[in-house]
Amino acid sequence: MDKIIKLGFLGCGNVGGGVWKLLSGFAKDIDHRTGLKFEVKRALVRDLTKKRDIDFPAGVLTDNVEDLLGDPEISIVLEFLGGEKPACDWIKEALRRGKTVVTANKVAFALHWPELQKAAEESGAGLYYEAAVCGAIPIIHTLEASLQSNAISYIYGIVNGTTNYILTRMSREGAEYSAVLADAQRLGLAEPDPSSDVEGLDAAYKLSILASLAFHGRVPFEHVYVEGITSIQAEDILCGQELGYTLKLLAIAKRDGLKVETRVHPTFIPDKHPLASVSDAFNAVFLKGHACDEMMFMGRGAGDLPTASAIVSDLLRAAAAEKHAYPTFNNDPHPAIPYENNTDWQTAFYVRMLAVDKPGVLSHVAQTFACFGVSIAVMQQKGAMSDGRVTLVFITHKANEKAMRQALATIDPSFATVESVLRVEE
């Protein structure tokens, strides 16, 4: 006989609606393939009177969380509220009561993963979070179940669709940031308050989760260096394009022995790099393992059905599991291996300056760079401004972040002003 599994939805907005649609539209196939039937018994919403796309059966909607958490028939809770409060407390409470939780909540994992996992392990409930990172891309399960025998040395991720959409359009159209952002907001591709996306926080949450799984060691969110795209100028994108580079907001995690670096910032990558062709709102994760070598996973990072694809895959695995698995970390709870947060990483740089057009200027800049161990790979001088100054564009070889900052602070502003500094990864 078929097994009927009763579900509780915490929230039922865009993503919850997508899961509802996917579960009901695909119910016959799921039953045929797995012998599982799902029934959404309760769905928590804020406003019971609100008009909704979905025609919920009577008695499903509730505005009292205890109707879900206190119902012993509900064995799996799907959480779509997002954010830290009250979602985290409810996830934890559900786990404590032995209910398996499937969630899309990156903030909960970036900030409270150890507590959540502890609650799950104590009660034996499952904790599934594929949808928390990169929507439909099964990068969490791939790291856990397909790349487990790899020592992963780096991850480059395009993990935020809004910023990728904005940078793609700035690159295609030569448009400025504020104009494209306004258009993206009009099209519903950026939030009315876009700060978490455009300032890189959303990407940093996801990076801390990915890096923790990839390196089998907890990488705290607070260790992630974050720089967003709000001050990117069309001119820099164009200068990069002329040199064969595409600008992306990259989430970068590298591990070298016990040193781990994690950073989110706008980054030039060569046009030929597979990540350069990941455009519009798509997400992608490019990584290297000691056995698998380089790999890339690309797909939709957001949207109701793509996110539902990840959530339902978690749900099916959760429902079929005889016993739930939990990741292990080398530095948690007993830090046998103390990872070090490396903040003086090595990277190449793109620098654009406005320089006085007279003898000795270029030599001053080149000497300053050399003093700090920064070596120049490419230099371009461009046409003069109305005030007679010229634009100088440099791409450096790899240099230490701190040395580069010192070098730039040492450039004499009466010779040249530093207009933009961006990092470059090959």
Contact in structure between 191 and 168 (CB atoms under 8 Å): no
Task: Tell whether residue 53 is a contact of a second copy (CB under 8 A).
Answer: no
Residue 54 one-letter amino acid: I
Task: Tell whether residue 290 is a contact of a second copy (CB under 8 A).
Answer: yes
For 385-398, letters b (16+ CB in 10 Å) and e give: eeeebbbbbbbbeb
* Residue 146 vs 195, nearer CB to a second copy: 146
Least distance (Å) between residue 128 CB and a second copy: 12
Least distance (Å) between residue 86 CB and a second copy: 28
Kindly identify the residues of this chain, within the stretch 334-363, that bind a second copy according to CB under 8 A: none
Retrieve residue 392's tokens.
């100088």
Task: Tell whether residue 325 is a contact of a second copy (CB under 8 A).
Answer: yes
Least distance (Å) between residue 307 CB and a second copy: 9
Q: What is the contact mask toward a second copy in residues 75 to 114, using x (rule: CB under 8 A)?
A: ----------------------------------------
Residue 192 one-letter amino acid: P
Work out which of 37, 52, 96, 141 binds a second copy, going by CB under 8 A: 141
Retrieve residue 226's tokens.
């974050």
Catalytic residue chosen out of the listed positions 92, 99, 106, 206? 206
Least distance (Å) between residue 310 CB and a second copy: 7
Q: What is the DSSP string of 83-107?
A: SSTTHHHHHHHHHHTT-EEEE--HH
Q: Is 206 a catalytic residue?
A: yes
Task: Tell whether residue 250 is a contact of a second copy (CB under 8 A).
Answer: no
Retrieve residue 218's tokens.
């907890």
Task: Tell whether residue 265 is a contact of a second copy (CB under 8 A).
Answer: no
Task: Tell whether residue 231 is a contact of a second copy (CB under 8 A).
Answer: no
Task: Tell whether residue 185 is a contact of a second copy (CB under 8 A).
Answer: no
Closest C-alpha to 94, from 304, 318, 250, 247: 318
Between 401-410 and 361-371, two packed helices, what is the crossing angle to 10 degrees?
A: 150
Task: Tell whether residue 217 is a contact of a second copy (CB under 8 A).
Answer: no
Task: Tell whether residue 303 is a contact of a second copy (CB under 8 A).
Answer: yes
Between 201-215 and 106-123, two packed helices, what is the crossing angle to 10 degrees?
A: 40
Work out which of 67, 115, 118, 150 binds a second copy, going by CB under 8 A: 150
Q: What is the DSSP string of 104-124?
A: --HHHHHHHHHHHHHHHHHHT
Q: What is the DSSP string of 209-258?
A: HHHHHHHTS---GGG-EE--STT--HHHHHHHHHTTEEEEEEEEEEEETT
Task: Tell whether residue 333 is a contact of a second copy (CB under 8 A).
Answer: no
Contact in structure between 329 and 39 (CB atoms under 8 Å): no
Task: Tell whether residue 145 is a contact of a second copy (CB under 8 A).
Answer: yes
* Residue 5 vs 365, nearer CB to a second copy: 5
* Residue 51 vs 272, nearer CB to a second copy: 272
Closest C-alpha to 270, from 246, 290, 240: 246
Number of helices and strands in the chain (H, E)? 14, 18
Site size for a second copy, by CB under 8 A? 60
Task: Tell whether residue 294 is a contact of a second copy (CB under 8 A).
Answer: yes
Closest C-alpha to 254, from 153, 143, 398: 153
Kindly identify the residues of this chain, within the stretch 4-23, that bind a second copy according to CB under 8 A: 18, 22
Binding site for a second copy (CB under 8 A): 18, 22, 26, 29-30, 32-34, 130, 136-138, 141-142, 145-151, 216, 272-274, 276-279, 282, 284, 289-300, 303, 305-306, 308-310, 312-313, 316-317, 320, 322-323, 325, 327-328, 330
Active site residues: 206
